[in-house]
Structure 1
Amino acid sequence: MILLKNIGHLIQDAETVRCGMDLLVHGSQITAIDGGIPEKSADEVIDCQGRIVMPGLINLHTHLYQSVLKGWGDTLTLKPWCEEVTFPFSSIIHASERDGDYRMSYAYAILGAMEMLHAGITTFVDMDILSDSVFQAWHDLGTRGVGAIQAVNRWVPEPLMVPDDVRKERILRTVDLWDRKDLLRVAIAPSTPFACTKEFLLWLRDLAVEKNMPLFIHVSETKWEVEDSLRSTGMTPLEYLESIQFLKAPVCAIHAIHFTEEEHRIAQSRGVSICYNPKSNGKLGSGIAPIVDYLRLGLKVAVSTDGAASNDLLDLFEDMRVGLMLQKLRYEDPSVISAQDVFRMATETPAEILGLNAGILRSGKLADLVIIDPGQVHFGPLHDVVQQIVYCGKSCDVRDVMVNGRFLMKDTRILTVDEPALVRQGFELALEKQESLTGEALVAEF
């Protein structure tokens, strides 16, 4: 058992902060929160005087292969950014995998997961065409990873296409091999409505329902996507998904920037949850999602980083802060949303969307937690701790990270893998792969 003693400020949830508490962990769960828990009840005692202990952050949407594509595509909107940045590099990765070389896949997966661990992220959802090496990297680190299989069968360039029967076979194999293996889970994630045929979308929906897996999809990220959907189907993207009964299953809509009033009604009636990616949407100039409207409709909203090539960090402290300020700007009213609201979007709400017994610190909850040092000049002095986590917090404030009752990081040092060696090897390999890029865009045909 592990005892966190004399906690300066314990953030149990967005509304509950207690001082001078002790927290006891037994196995994977929190078993007690109280003042004066005897030290003899624990095998390890951590003095948390002056520290903030808070729930581990949950990053509901990212693309970890982009962890090695930082600093690319600063002036591009989504479609040319895909064609000039992400598609070419993805093609190189998957070509290497076809040749039996999985080093790059392992490298980007471990680099991204380590960056998130340093930022206090204890659970994440990575949306990609996932190989075994990706799951193995997360397993080696010991983190809680959800592999959302990004499924497409049209729109993407030829090097990324495979026949439908092969694609389905690979998806089923990944689900059977990795879903619920230790701390790992698998989710289903058709990339967009326009990147999948109707038949494939419904096959993916049915698989998610059958296997009780989360279901994600990029929707209405850009005005171009909405206009293209109107041209090709006569309907907006969410209207189309509703018309084919894709929304009969619980769905998390990623981005949802350009929903119409009718789509708001559909989302509310179907209980669609929303994944808000403010920094990514800002870099690509896609727009500001109407998050306050979604909260007023009673929709579940999570804040996430998206991929590192469109952020360019995997740091939810930044996305909480930027996301909060953008909403106040969009509505020209600082009272429409609070720091507590956005803190909940990075903890409790994404846990609910994933069906994960985490996101708040209570007895019986999973021991996924973060210890913060608020002593740096940018953070204090303390007044409203949750507000300061959102407005002042940085990844460098994270000292210790526990996942499933096990410390993966202490005093900013990752304990489970050789981080310096992995960073050096990963950077070298990424630069080697990037040198093979031709500089020519891979254009997706419609």
Structure 2
Amino acid sequence: MKAIIADYALDVEGIKRNVAVLIEKDKIVGVVPHESLRDFGVDETFGGSGYLLIPGLVNAHTHVAMNKFRGFGDDMPLDRWLKEVIWPMEKEWTEEEIYKWALIGIAEAVANGSTVINDHYFFAWKIAEAAEKLGVRAFIGQTMMDLVEMSIAGPELGFKFFKRWKKSDLVRATLAPHATDTVSRDLLMEVKEVAEKESGIIHMHVSQSKEEVLRVKKREKMLPVEYLKELEMLGENFMGVHGVYLSKDEVKIYAESGATLVHCPTSLAKLEGEIGPIIDLWKLGGRIALGNDCAVSNNSLDMILEMKFAAILNKVKARNPTKPTAKEVFYWATVGGAEALGLKAGLIKEGYLADLVLIDTKKLHFLPRENVLSHIVYSAKGSDVEKVFVGGELIYDQGRFLKTNEIEELLALE
């Protein structure tokens, strides 16, 4: 049995002080006062005084291999950014390069507190290999498009990956049609059928640009979410991403559907100067998760920083300093993402996955330490992360990735 000792254990259900979290195999088996630790058969301990323990953060939408393009296409609107910068560069990808940059992207996410990634990209099998190598929990989908010519996004590749990827405890395959304007009605129907048959998660961009909305409206004579409703695609297994230009009617449809909207505030604020009606959706009971998107549009994979942007940008959008609260944003980054992916994670309690992050609070920006919920959303940084556990296993420790030495080798080469 392992134990993680911390001054504070924080999740959306509250704060526990001076605790030891007990772990057996991949689960939390108890949360006890740390002074009672000697009563349990503990073989190994981590943490101690000055530490804050939180659930691992869920990066519910990302493209980790796009770390290769960081710094390209700044200060451009999304539609031009895709067509003039991103898609031309993506046509040059090789499997070897995808694997290398997926390792780098996943490593960055883990080092900043993510224990789960939900990735949507090309050569998905290489990204899955990289995730397994680093020991992160990952959901990987092979991007599919049939209304844009790109050989590496052929639908047959997406279905093949989904059906053939070996199921493992950590890495699972999803279905990843690109967006409502780049995927045909016929392909969406096929995705829906496969998802229903195989209990698959559908991960898809929705209303991420004005141009997407206009193209769908012209082609289908309805708005993107209305279109998805007509196709009966919306449900608890559907993870739509961005939702920047949802109408009031679409917000209501989406909230009632049980689908999750993945909010990537930094990315869309940068690319579109807009973040969408997130608070309106939340008020109606809609399900929300949080994501970094990619290092080209973000430009980091720091989910701790993403929480701060989510809180502040939504306050500006709503012209209301009371919404969302720090607790609500913390929920989106933990329980919201975990529930969307079907994981019993995001809380520090018995029976939950031991996906946990140990944060060093012995720093000036954590003083005074009374309100650690406020600090984790508004003051903390990804660099405060000291240790990351996935399924109870320590995979990251003070700058070192413990499952592989490939990251150190890549850093030396770059």
Amino acid at match of 1:404: G
- Give the aligned partner of residue 152 of structure 1: 145
Q: Distance in 2 between matches of 1:414 and 1:64?
A: 17
Q: Distance in 2 between matches of 1:300 and 1:179?
A: 29
Aligned equivalent of 2:120, options 124, 127, 134 = 127
TM-score, reference length from structure 1: 0.89
Q: Cα offset for 1:47?
A: 3.9
8 Å Cα contact 1:25/1:367 also seen in 2: yes
TM-score, reference length from structure 2: 0.95
- Give the aligned partner of residue 137 of structure 1: 130
- Give the aligned partner of residue 71 of structure 1: 71
- Give the aligned partner of residue 412 of structure 1: 399
* Secondary structure at 2:364 match in 1: coil
* Secondary structure at 2:351 match in 1: coil
8 Å Cα contact 2:55/2:346 also seen in 1: yes
Q: Cα offset for 1:174?
A: 1.6
Q: Distance in 1 between matches of 2:129 and 2:142?
A: 15
8 Å Cα contact 1:251/1:273 also seen in 2: yes
8 Å Cα contact 1:3/1:39 also seen in 2: no
Q: Cα offset for 1:388?
A: 0.5
Amino acid at match of 1:104: E
8 Å Cα contact 2:162/2:173 also seen in 1: yes
Measured on the aligned residues, the alpha-carbon RMSD in Å equals 1.6
The 1:21/1:158 distance shift into structure 2, 3 A limit, reads closer
8 Å Cα contact 2:180/2:212 also seen in 1: no
- Give the aligned partner of residue 432 of structure 1: none
Question: Pairwise mapping of residues 13-52 of structure 1 onto structure 2 (< 5 A)?
Answer: 13-35=11-33, 36-38=36-38, 41-52=41-52
Q: Cα offset for 1:40?
A: 5.6
Q: Distance in 1 between matches of 2:117 and 2:124?
A: 17
Question: Pairwise mapping of residues 244-283 of structure 1 onto structure 2 (< 5 A)?
Answer: 244-247=231-234, 250-283=237-270
Q: Does 1:106 align with 2:106?
A: no
* Secondary structure at 2:18 match in 1: strand
Q: Distance in 1 between matches of 2:246 and 2:123?
A: 30
8 Å Cα contact 1:130/1:147 also seen in 2: no
- Give the aligned partner of residue 187 of structure 1: 174
Question: Pairwise mapping of residues 229-378 of structure 1 onto structure 2 (< 5 A)?
Answer: 229-247=216-234, 250-378=237-365
Q: Distance in 2 between matches of 1:161 and 1:296?
A: 36
8 Å Cα contact 1:78/1:286 also seen in 2: no
Q: How many residues align?
A: 411
The 1:422/1:192 distance shift into structure 2, 3 A limit, reads same
The 1:178/1:38 distance shift into structure 2, 3 A limit, reads farther
8 Å Cα contact 2:98/2:126 also seen in 1: yes
* Secondary structure at 1:246 match in 2: coil
8 Å Cα contact 1:253/1:272 also seen in 2: yes
Amino acid at match of 1:26: E
8 Å Cα contact 2:143/2:153 also seen in 1: no
Q: What are the superposed Cα offsets for residues 303-340 of structure 1, whole Å, 9 maximum, x if unpaired? A: 11001110010001111101100111111111122000
Amino acid at match of 2:260: S
8 Å Cα contact 1:178/1:184 also seen in 2: no
Q: Cα offset for 1:423?
A: 2.7
* Secondary structure at 2:346 match in 1: coil
Q: Cα offset for 1:265?
A: 2.3
The answer to which of 74-83 and 241-250 deviates more is 241-250
Percent identity, aligned pairs only?
28
8 Å Cα contact 2:70/2:299 also seen in 1: yes
- Give the aligned partner of residue 412 of structure 2: 424
The 1:258/1:389 distance shift into structure 2, 3 A limit, reads same
Q: Cα offset for 1:378?
A: 2.5
* Secondary structure at 1:378 match in 2: helix
8 Å Cα contact 2:65/2:99 also seen in 1: no
8 Å Cα contact 1:66/1:86 also seen in 2: no
8 Å Cα contact 1:70/1:308 also seen in 2: yes
The answer to which of 317-326 and 130-139 deviates more is 130-139
Q: Cα offset for 1:159?
A: 4.8
Q: Unaligned 5+ residue runs, structure 2?
A: none
- Give the aligned partner of residue 196 of structure 1: 183
* Secondary structure at 1:226 match in 2: helix
Q: Cα offset for 1:413?
A: 1.8
Amino acid at match of 1:363: E
Q: What are the superposed Cα offsets for residues 79-105 of structure 1, whole Å, 9 maximum, x if unpaired? A: 111122221221100xx3xxxxx3201
Q: Does 1:222 align with 2:221?
A: no
* Secondary structure at 1:309 match in 2: coil
Q: Does 1:117 align with 2:115?
A: no
Q: Distance in 2 between matches of 1:276 and 1:73?
A: 21
* Secondary structure at 1:4 match in 2: strand
8 Å Cα contact 1:147/1:186 also seen in 2: yes
Q: Does 1:92 align with 2:85?
A: no
- Give the aligned partner of residue 196 of structure 2: 209
Amino acid at match of 1:183: L
Q: Distance in 1 between matches of 2:166 and 2:249?
A: 35
Q: Cα offset for 1:179?
A: 4.9
The 1:350/1:149 distance shift into structure 2, 3 A limit, reads same
Q: Cα offset for 1:225?
A: 1.7
Q: What are the superposed Cα offsets for residues 199-256 of structure 1, whole Å, 9 maximum, x if unpaired? A: 1101011111211121121111122222222222221111112223333673221101
Q: What are the superposed Cα offsets for residues 271-293 of structure 1, whole Å, 9 maximum, x if unpaired? A: 22111010000111251221111
Q: Unaligned 5+ residue runs, structure 1?
A: 97-101, 428-446
8 Å Cα contact 2:124/2:142 also seen in 1: no
Deviation above 6 Å: which 4+ runs of structure 1?
A: none
Amino acid at match of 1:49: S
- Give the aligned partner of residue 165 of structure 2: 178
The 1:333/1:286 distance shift into structure 2, 3 A limit, reads closer
Amino acid at match of 2:409: A
Q: Distance in 1 between matches of 2:49 and 2:164?
A: 43
